[in-house]
Amino acid sequence: MKACIYGAGAIGGWLGVALAQAGHTVSMVARGDTLRALQAEGLRMRRADGSLAQVPVTAHSDPAALGVQDLVVVAVKAPGLPDVARAMAPLIGPDTIVLAAMNGVPWWFLDGFGGAAQGHALESVDAGGVIAQAVPARNVVGSVVHTSCSLEAPGFVRQHFGNRLIVGEPDGSRSPRLQALADTLQRGGIDVEVSDCIQKDIWFKLWGNLTMNPISALTGATTDRILDDELVRGFVSAVMLEAKAIGDQLGLPIDQQPEDRHAVTRKLGAFKTSMLQDVEAGKPMEIDALVGAVRELGQITHTPTPHTDALLGLTRLMARTRGLY
């Protein structure tokens, strides 16, 4: 199988190592120092147990030079996806699987799913349908990443904890291509779970990220300090209850209360969210995929979201004043 990773960051590298170690030909689209590092030394990863993996990859700055792939892994930040989707065209053939490994609500979330909301295009994550036009829905396989990785250096991933990936077809089917992909990644060393409703897994992960990410970006606080403040914790719970009500309308019930999720988050300790790390690094923030899409889904399902609206407004304003949105 020919597999291309578009997004040579920490998660893209984690998946690239797995695909290479499963015996597949891996290429990566990269630029600058990352491109040079991949060409010189291949893709490297320090696992959570301290072991080092180093695998050969073909790295190029031009996707057209790599040709049509059997699998394209999209592991970029949401703000960059419209441009990436257009650039990916030379990699995608009629039977290419596009594995979306990203945070938040994806552009295909309501394709063939969502009850009365089914088929609605989400302007907050795909304005004008640019992504949907560039990446046909029939090619997409969804995923939820449960690992913490960072870049130690260009082309060098450090895995901190977690090694789990959930994959699923947007229509919930157990297709042969889905099972083959899961088996491949499992052979490469990732703990893979096949989902009958990947939207439910996406929504459940978002239920925590929806609040912790933007509030940490606004305040500079780690998650433990956010939960230690009873007023902020109460606001977090109010936003989560709004998202829970939206999920009920979409057929995505959550059988927990916010306090149950808070207990899980506390186990992470003084955790610095990805959005806070983006702010500190001066990178664009994933506001729309994590918060804006939830507000839009509230509007589609006629679910009031006053607390989510406030969180979106404050985070968006902060990002705009810093040139990050």
Q: Does position 137 have pLDDT exceeding 90, yes or no?
A: no
In whole angstroms, what is the distance from residue 18 CA to residue 322 CA? Answer: 37
Q: What is the pLDDT, as a whole number, of residue 320?
A: 98
pLDDT attached to residue 234: 98
Mean pLDDT, the chain, whole residue set? 97
pLDDT band of residue 302 (cuts 50, 70, 90) is very high
What is the pTM assigned to this prediction? 0.95
Q: What average pLDDT score do residues 287-291 get? A: 98
Per-residue pLDDT band at 131 (split at 50, 70, 90): very high
Nearest one of 141, 122, 23 to 78, comparing CA atoms: 122
Give the domain ranges of the chain.
Answer: 2-196, 200-321
Q: In CATH terms, is domain 2-196 a member of 3.40.640.10?
A: no
Active-site residue flag, 205: yes
Mean pLDDT of 103-118: 93
- pLDDT tens per residue, range 260-285: 999 999 999 999 999 999 999 999 99
Closest CA relative to residue 77, chosen from 44, 109, 101, 52: 101
Q: Is 294 exposed, middle or buried (0-12, 13-18, 19+ CB in 10 A)?
A: buried
Q: What is the pLDDT of residue 242?
A: 98
Q: What's the pLDDT score for residue 112?
A: 86
What mean pLDDT is predicted for residues 244-249? 98
Query: Percentage of the chain surpassing pLDDT 70?
Result: 100
Q: Which of 205, 244, 267, 272 is catalytic?
A: 205
Which residues have CB under 8 Å from 35's CB, separation 6+? 8, 59, 60, 61
Is the pLDDT at 188 greater than 90, yes or no? yes
pLDDT of residue 171: 94
- pLDDT of amino acid 280: 97
* CA-only gyration radius of the chain, Å: 19
Q: Which CATH class is domain 200-321?
A: mainly alpha
- Find the mean pLDDT for residues 184-196: 98
Name the phi and psi angles at 147, rounded to 5: -150, 155
Helices 274-281, 198-219: crossing angle, 10 deg rounding: 50
pLDDT digits (tens, 9 = 90+) for 7-31: 999 999 999 999 999 999 999 999 9
